[in-house]
Protein backbone atom coordinates (compact mmCIF):
# COMPACT_ATOMS: atom_id res chain seq x y z
CA UNK A 1 0.00 0.00 0.00
CA UNK A 2 1.27 3.48 -0.80
CA UNK A 3 2.55 5.47 2.15
CA UNK A 4 0.84 8.74 2.90
CA UNK A 5 2.92 11.92 3.47
CA UNK A 6 2.13 13.45 6.78
CA UNK A 7 0.62 16.99 6.67
CA UNK A 8 3.14 19.75 7.48
CA UNK A 9 2.81 21.27 10.88
CA UNK A 10 3.48 24.94 11.77
CA UNK A 11 6.81 24.00 13.35
CA UNK A 12 7.94 22.28 10.15
CA UNK A 13 6.95 25.32 8.09
CA UNK A 14 8.95 27.69 10.30
CA UNK A 15 11.97 25.44 10.10
CA UNK A 16 11.88 25.46 6.24
CA UNK A 17 11.56 29.25 5.84
CA UNK A 18 15.32 30.01 5.95
CA UNK A 19 15.86 27.40 3.33
CA UNK A 20 13.37 29.08 1.01
CA UNK A 21 14.96 32.49 1.61
CA UNK A 22 18.40 31.21 0.70
CA UNK A 23 17.05 29.44 -2.36
CA UNK A 24 15.43 32.55 -3.86
CA UNK A 25 17.36 35.51 -2.36
CA UNK A 26 20.74 34.12 -1.45
CA UNK A 27 24.05 35.11 -3.22
CA UNK A 28 26.96 32.95 -3.94
CA UNK A 29 30.48 34.04 -3.01
CA UNK A 30 31.24 35.14 -6.57
CA UNK A 31 28.00 37.12 -6.86
CA UNK A 32 28.64 38.85 -3.56
CA UNK A 33 32.11 39.93 -4.67
CA UNK A 34 30.74 41.30 -7.96
CA UNK A 35 28.03 43.27 -6.15
CA UNK A 36 30.58 44.90 -3.88
CA UNK A 37 32.80 45.84 -6.80
CA UNK A 38 29.81 47.37 -8.64
CA UNK A 39 28.81 49.35 -5.57
CA UNK A 40 32.33 50.77 -5.24
CA UNK A 41 32.30 51.82 -8.92
CA UNK A 42 29.01 53.67 -8.45
CA UNK A 43 30.33 55.54 -5.44
CA UNK A 44 33.47 56.46 -7.36
CA UNK A 45 31.32 57.74 -10.27
CA UNK A 46 29.49 60.07 -7.87
CA UNK A 47 32.34 61.52 -5.85
CA UNK A 48 35.42 61.40 -8.12
CA UNK A 49 34.29 64.30 -10.45
CA UNK A 50 33.80 66.54 -7.44
CA UNK A 51 37.27 65.64 -6.20
CA UNK A 52 38.90 66.19 -9.59
CA UNK A 53 37.12 69.54 -10.30
CA UNK A 54 39.49 72.51 -9.90
CA UNK A 55 38.71 74.90 -7.09
CA UNK A 56 36.97 78.09 -8.33
CA UNK A 57 38.43 81.44 -7.25
CA UNK A 58 36.38 83.49 -4.81
CA UNK A 59 34.70 86.60 -6.26
CA UNK A 60 35.90 89.91 -4.86
CA UNK A 61 33.53 92.82 -5.88
CA UNK A 62 35.89 95.56 -4.74
CA UNK A 63 37.64 95.94 -8.11
CA UNK A 64 34.35 96.11 -10.03
CA UNK A 65 32.91 98.60 -7.56
CA UNK A 66 35.90 100.89 -8.03
CA UNK A 67 35.46 100.73 -11.81
CA UNK A 68 31.74 101.57 -11.57
CA UNK A 69 32.48 104.53 -9.31
CA UNK A 70 35.04 105.83 -11.78
CA UNK A 71 32.56 105.54 -14.70
CA UNK A 72 29.84 107.32 -12.70
CA UNK A 73 32.24 110.17 -11.93
CA UNK A 74 33.20 110.58 -15.61
CA UNK A 75 29.53 110.57 -16.67
CA UNK A 76 28.62 113.21 -14.12
CA UNK A 77 31.52 115.37 -15.32
CA UNK A 78 30.30 115.10 -18.92
CA UNK A 79 26.69 116.01 -18.07
CA UNK A 80 27.55 118.98 -15.92
CA UNK A 81 28.05 121.42 -18.85
CA UNK A 82 24.71 120.33 -20.40
CA UNK A 83 22.94 120.95 -17.11
CA UNK A 84 24.40 124.42 -16.95
CA UNK A 85 23.51 124.97 -20.59
CA UNK A 86 19.83 124.10 -20.16
CA UNK A 87 19.42 125.61 -16.71
CA UNK A 88 16.23 127.56 -16.17
CA UNK A 89 16.89 131.20 -16.76
CA UNK A 90 15.28 134.00 -14.86
CA UNK A 91 13.68 136.22 -17.49
CA UNK A 92 12.71 139.75 -16.59
CA UNK A 93 9.00 140.47 -16.43
CA UNK A 94 7.41 142.02 -19.52
CA UNK A 95 5.44 144.44 -17.42
CA UNK A 96 6.98 146.45 -14.59
CA UNK A 97 5.60 145.93 -11.13
CA UNK A 98 2.90 148.42 -10.14
CA UNK A 99 2.87 149.59 -6.51
CA UNK A 100 -0.33 148.61 -4.71
CA UNK A 101 -2.67 151.19 -3.21
CA UNK A 102 -5.08 150.98 -0.28
CA UNK A 103 -8.67 150.22 -1.26
CA UNK A 104 -10.99 153.23 -1.14
CA UNK A 105 -14.28 153.91 -2.96
CA UNK A 106 -13.65 154.35 -6.69
CA UNK A 107 -15.51 154.72 -9.98
CA UNK A 108 -14.68 151.76 -12.32
CA UNK A 109 -15.39 153.93 -15.36
CA UNK A 110 -12.58 156.35 -14.42
CA UNK A 111 -9.81 153.79 -13.87
CA UNK A 112 -7.05 153.00 -16.31
CA UNK A 113 -5.38 149.63 -16.72
CA UNK A 114 -2.57 150.74 -14.40
CA UNK A 115 -5.12 151.76 -11.75
CA UNK A 116 -6.70 148.28 -11.91
CA UNK A 117 -3.25 146.72 -11.51
CA UNK A 118 -2.63 148.90 -8.46
CA UNK A 119 -5.74 147.31 -6.92
CA UNK A 120 -4.44 143.76 -7.30
CA UNK A 121 -5.42 142.72 -10.85
CA UNK A 122 -3.00 141.15 -13.27
CA UNK A 123 -2.01 143.07 -16.38
CA UNK A 124 -4.09 141.06 -18.88
CA UNK A 125 -7.21 141.30 -16.67
CA UNK A 126 -6.76 145.04 -16.31
CA UNK A 127 -6.46 145.44 -20.08
CA UNK A 128 -9.52 143.23 -20.58
CA UNK A 129 -11.66 145.28 -18.16
CA UNK A 130 -10.71 148.57 -19.84
CA UNK A 131 -11.44 147.13 -23.30
CA UNK A 132 -14.79 145.72 -22.14
CA UNK A 133 -15.74 149.07 -20.63
CA UNK A 134 -14.94 150.88 -23.90
CA UNK A 135 -16.96 148.39 -25.97
CA UNK A 136 -20.15 148.61 -23.89
CA UNK A 137 -19.86 152.36 -23.37
CA UNK A 138 -19.10 152.27 -19.64
CA UNK A 139 -20.07 150.07 -16.73
CA UNK A 140 -23.60 150.58 -15.45
CA UNK A 141 -23.66 147.93 -12.71
CA UNK A 142 -21.33 145.73 -10.70
CA UNK A 143 -22.71 142.58 -12.31
CA UNK A 144 -21.12 143.62 -15.62
CA UNK A 145 -17.70 143.59 -13.97
CA UNK A 146 -18.44 140.27 -12.23
CA UNK A 147 -19.18 138.62 -15.60
CA UNK A 148 -15.82 139.66 -17.06
CA UNK A 149 -14.10 136.60 -18.46
CA UNK A 150 -11.17 135.41 -16.32
CA UNK A 151 -11.88 137.62 -13.29
CA UNK A 152 -11.57 135.44 -10.14
CA UNK A 153 -14.56 135.62 -7.83
CA UNK A 154 -12.29 136.22 -4.84
CA UNK A 155 -10.86 139.35 -6.50
CA UNK A 156 -14.35 140.61 -7.34
CA UNK A 157 -15.59 140.06 -3.77
CA UNK A 158 -12.61 142.06 -2.48
CA UNK A 159 -13.23 145.02 -4.80
CA UNK A 160 -17.05 145.04 -5.00
CA UNK A 161 -17.68 146.96 -1.72
CA UNK A 162 -15.60 149.88 -3.01
CA UNK A 163 -17.16 150.16 -6.49
CA UNK A 164 -19.43 153.18 -6.85
CA UNK A 165 -21.99 151.37 -9.02
CA UNK A 166 -25.38 149.74 -8.38
CA UNK A 167 -25.47 145.98 -7.90
CA UNK A 168 -27.71 145.20 -10.89
CA UNK A 169 -28.70 146.86 -14.13
CA UNK A 170 -31.57 149.37 -13.96
CA UNK A 171 -34.91 148.09 -15.25
CA UNK A 172 -35.69 148.97 -18.82
CA UNK A 173 -38.66 151.22 -19.42
CA UNK A 174 -41.29 149.91 -21.79
CA UNK A 175 -41.44 151.53 -25.18
CA UNK A 176 -44.46 153.81 -25.37
CA UNK A 177 -46.18 153.23 -28.65
CA UNK A 178 -47.72 156.27 -30.19
CA UNK A 179 -51.09 155.42 -31.58
CA UNK A 180 -51.66 156.94 -34.96
CA UNK A 181 -54.38 156.53 -37.48
CA UNK A 182 -54.08 153.47 -39.68
CA UNK A 183 -53.67 155.47 -42.87
CA UNK A 184 -50.70 157.36 -41.36
CA UNK A 185 -48.75 154.43 -39.91
CA UNK A 186 -46.80 153.59 -43.04
CA UNK A 187 -46.60 156.97 -44.75
CA UNK A 188 -43.27 157.88 -43.14
CA UNK A 189 -41.50 154.68 -44.13
CA UNK A 190 -38.92 154.78 -46.88
CA UNK A 191 -39.85 152.93 -50.07
CA UNK A 192 -38.18 149.61 -50.80
CA UNK A 193 -35.05 150.01 -52.91
CA UNK A 194 -35.29 148.86 -56.48
CA UNK A 195 -33.86 145.40 -57.09
CA UNK A 196 -30.70 145.18 -59.15
CA UNK A 197 -32.02 142.02 -60.82
CA UNK A 198 -34.63 142.50 -63.57
CA UNK A 199 -37.98 140.86 -63.01
CA UNK A 200 -38.50 137.74 -65.07
CA UNK A 201 -41.45 137.65 -67.45
CA UNK A 202 -44.53 135.79 -66.31
CA UNK A 203 -45.57 134.79 -69.85
CA UNK A 204 -42.60 133.47 -71.82
CA UNK A 205 -42.73 132.09 -75.32
CA UNK A 206 -40.90 128.81 -75.97
CA UNK A 207 -37.58 129.06 -77.79
CA UNK A 208 -35.10 126.72 -79.49
CA UNK A 209 -32.83 125.03 -76.91
CA UNK A 210 -29.94 124.66 -79.35
CA UNK A 211 -30.04 128.31 -80.44
CA UNK A 212 -30.63 129.98 -77.05
CA UNK A 213 -27.94 131.90 -75.25
CA UNK A 214 -27.52 132.49 -71.52
CA UNK A 215 -29.68 135.63 -71.60
CA UNK A 216 -32.68 133.73 -72.96
CA UNK A 217 -32.19 130.85 -70.52
CA UNK A 218 -32.05 133.26 -67.56
CA UNK A 219 -35.60 134.44 -68.38
CA UNK A 220 -36.89 131.12 -67.02
CA UNK A 221 -37.71 131.22 -63.33
CA UNK A 222 -35.11 129.39 -61.24
CA UNK A 223 -32.40 129.57 -63.91
CA UNK A 224 -29.61 131.94 -62.95
CA UNK A 225 -26.38 133.04 -64.54
CA UNK A 226 -24.33 130.03 -63.39
CA UNK A 227 -26.91 127.40 -64.34
CA UNK A 228 -27.54 128.91 -67.78
CA UNK A 229 -23.78 128.92 -68.43
CA UNK A 230 -23.61 125.21 -67.50
CA UNK A 231 -26.42 124.41 -69.95
CA UNK A 232 -24.63 126.22 -72.78
CA UNK A 233 -21.28 124.61 -71.89
CA UNK A 234 -22.79 121.10 -71.81
CA UNK A 235 -24.52 121.74 -75.15
CA UNK A 236 -21.17 122.70 -76.70
CA UNK A 237 -19.45 119.55 -75.38
CA UNK A 238 -22.34 117.40 -76.50
CA UNK A 239 -22.61 118.87 -80.00
CA UNK A 240 -26.22 119.98 -79.50
CA UNK A 241 -29.29 118.51 -77.85
CA UNK A 242 -31.25 115.95 -79.84
CA UNK A 243 -33.99 115.67 -77.19
CA UNK A 244 -35.05 117.77 -74.21
CA UNK A 245 -34.53 114.87 -71.81
CA UNK A 246 -30.76 115.35 -72.07
CA UNK A 247 -31.06 118.36 -69.75
CA UNK A 248 -31.38 115.97 -66.79
CA UNK A 249 -27.83 114.74 -67.53
CA UNK A 250 -26.31 118.08 -66.45
CA UNK A 251 -24.71 117.70 -63.04
CA UNK A 252 -26.43 120.74 -61.51
CA UNK A 253 -29.87 119.56 -62.70
CA UNK A 254 -29.72 115.91 -61.64
CA UNK A 255 -31.32 116.67 -58.27
CA UNK A 256 -33.59 119.48 -59.48
CA UNK A 257 -36.48 117.94 -61.46
CA UNK A 258 -38.56 121.12 -61.13
CA UNK A 259 -35.91 123.14 -62.99
CA UNK A 260 -35.71 120.45 -65.68
CA UNK A 261 -39.50 120.66 -66.10
CA UNK A 262 -39.28 124.45 -66.42
CA UNK A 263 -36.62 124.13 -69.13
CA UNK A 264 -38.70 121.55 -70.99
CA UNK A 265 -41.76 123.80 -70.71
CA UNK A 266 -40.18 126.85 -72.31
CA UNK A 267 -37.72 125.20 -74.74
CA UNK A 268 -37.96 122.78 -77.67
CA UNK A 269 -35.66 120.85 -80.00
CA UNK A 270 -36.48 121.03 -83.71
CA UNK A 271 -36.83 117.72 -85.50
CA UNK A 272 -34.53 118.82 -88.35
CA UNK A 273 -31.65 119.68 -86.05
CA UNK A 274 -28.43 117.82 -86.93
CA UNK A 275 -25.96 117.63 -84.02
CA UNK A 276 -22.24 118.10 -84.46
CA UNK A 277 -20.92 114.58 -85.24
CA UNK A 278 -17.75 112.96 -83.92
CA UNK A 279 -15.55 111.04 -86.35
CA UNK A 280 -14.63 107.90 -84.39
CA UNK A 281 -12.22 106.80 -87.16
CA UNK A 282 -10.11 109.97 -87.32
CA UNK A 283 -10.78 111.98 -84.16
CA UNK A 284 -7.81 112.06 -81.75
CA UNK A 285 -8.02 110.83 -78.19
CA UNK A 286 -8.32 114.36 -76.73
CA UNK A 287 -11.40 115.13 -78.86
CA UNK A 288 -13.07 111.79 -78.13
CA UNK A 289 -12.60 111.90 -74.36
CA UNK A 290 -14.11 115.42 -74.17
CA UNK A 291 -17.52 114.11 -75.33
CA UNK A 292 -19.86 113.46 -72.36
CA UNK A 293 -20.90 110.05 -73.70
CA UNK A 294 -17.35 108.80 -74.39
CA UNK A 295 -14.99 109.79 -71.58
CA UNK A 296 -11.32 108.83 -71.13
CA UNK A 297 -11.79 105.09 -70.65
CA UNK A 298 -13.97 104.50 -73.72
CA UNK A 299 -11.90 106.89 -75.85
CA UNK A 300 -8.72 104.96 -75.01
CA UNK A 301 -10.35 101.66 -76.02
CA UNK A 302 -11.77 103.13 -79.25
CA UNK A 303 -8.36 104.43 -80.34
CA UNK A 304 -6.67 101.12 -79.50
CA UNK A 305 -9.37 99.11 -81.32
CA UNK A 306 -9.14 101.06 -84.57
CA UNK A 307 -5.32 100.82 -84.47
CA UNK A 308 -5.49 97.02 -84.14
CA UNK A 309 -8.52 96.23 -86.35
CA UNK A 310 -8.68 99.18 -88.73
CA UNK A 311 -11.43 101.80 -89.09
CA UNK A 312 -15.05 101.18 -88.13
CA UNK A 313 -17.19 100.46 -91.21
CA UNK A 314 -20.59 100.85 -89.62
CA UNK A 315 -22.04 101.92 -86.30
CA UNK A 316 -22.75 98.36 -85.18
CA UNK A 317 -18.99 97.66 -85.21
CA UNK A 318 -18.81 99.62 -81.95
CA UNK A 319 -20.78 96.82 -80.28
CA UNK A 320 -17.62 94.70 -80.39
CA UNK A 321 -16.16 96.96 -77.67
CA UNK A 322 -17.06 95.17 -74.46
CA UNK A 323 -17.06 98.18 -72.15
CA UNK A 324 -19.62 100.00 -74.33
CA UNK A 325 -23.01 99.15 -72.82
CA UNK A 326 -26.28 99.30 -74.72
CA UNK A 327 -27.56 102.48 -73.05
CA UNK A 328 -24.41 104.44 -73.93
CA UNK A 329 -24.47 103.09 -77.47
CA UNK A 330 -28.04 104.29 -78.00
CA UNK A 331 -27.23 107.77 -76.68
CA UNK A 332 -24.03 107.98 -78.75
CA UNK A 333 -25.63 106.77 -82.01
CA UNK A 334 -27.01 110.19 -83.21
CA UNK A 335 -23.52 111.74 -82.86
CA UNK A 336 -21.54 109.11 -84.81
CA UNK A 337 -20.00 109.73 -88.19
CA UNK A 338 -18.12 107.00 -90.08
The per-residue pLDDT for range 84-131, each reduced to its tens digit, is 555 666 656 677 788 888 889 999 998 998 999 998 888 888 899 999
Name the band, by pLDDT with cuts 50, 70 and 90, for residue 59: confident
Q: Is the predicted pLDDT of residue 239 greater than 50, yes or no?
A: yes
In angstroms, how far apart are the furthest CA atoms of the chain? 170
**Closest to 159 in 3D by CA, of 106, 113, 110, 111:** 106
Name the band, by pLDDT with cuts 50, 70 and 90, for residue 174: very low
What's the pLDDT at 83? 52
For 249-304, write each residue's pLDDT tens digit.
898 888 888 888 888 888 989 888 889 998 988 999 999 999 999 999 999 999 99
CATH number for region 278-337: 1.10.150.320
**For range 154-170, the mean pLDDT:** 89
What's the pLDDT at 176? 43
Residue 244: CB partners within 8 Å, gap ≥ 6? 209, 263, 264, 267, 268, 269
Q: What sign has the CA pseudo-torsion 60, 66, 71, 75?
A: positive
CB atoms within 10 A of CB 335: 19
What's the pLDDT at 272? 87
What's the pLDDT at 17? 74
Q: Which 8-state DSSP code applies to residue 109?
A: G
CA angle in degrees (0–180, nearest 5) for 295-299-303: 175
Domain layout of the chain by residue ranges:
108-162, 207-268, 278-337
For 311-320, write each residue's pLDDT tens digit.
998 888 888 8
| Residue 207 φ then ψ, to 5° | -135, 165
What's the pLDDT at 147? 86
For 218-238, write each residue's pLDDT tens digit.
888 888 888 889 999 999 999
Q: Is the predicted pLDDT of residue 157 greater than 50, yes or no?
A: yes
Amino acid sequence: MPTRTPAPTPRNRAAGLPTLMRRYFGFSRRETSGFLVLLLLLLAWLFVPALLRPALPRYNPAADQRQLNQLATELAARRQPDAARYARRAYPSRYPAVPQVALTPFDPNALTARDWEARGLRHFLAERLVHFRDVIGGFKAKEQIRRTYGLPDSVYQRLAPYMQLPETMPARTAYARQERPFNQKFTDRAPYPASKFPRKPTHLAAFDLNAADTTQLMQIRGIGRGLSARVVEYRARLGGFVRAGQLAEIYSLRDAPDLVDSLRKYTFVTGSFAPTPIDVNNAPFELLQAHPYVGKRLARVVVAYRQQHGPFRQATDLRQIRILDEATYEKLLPYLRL
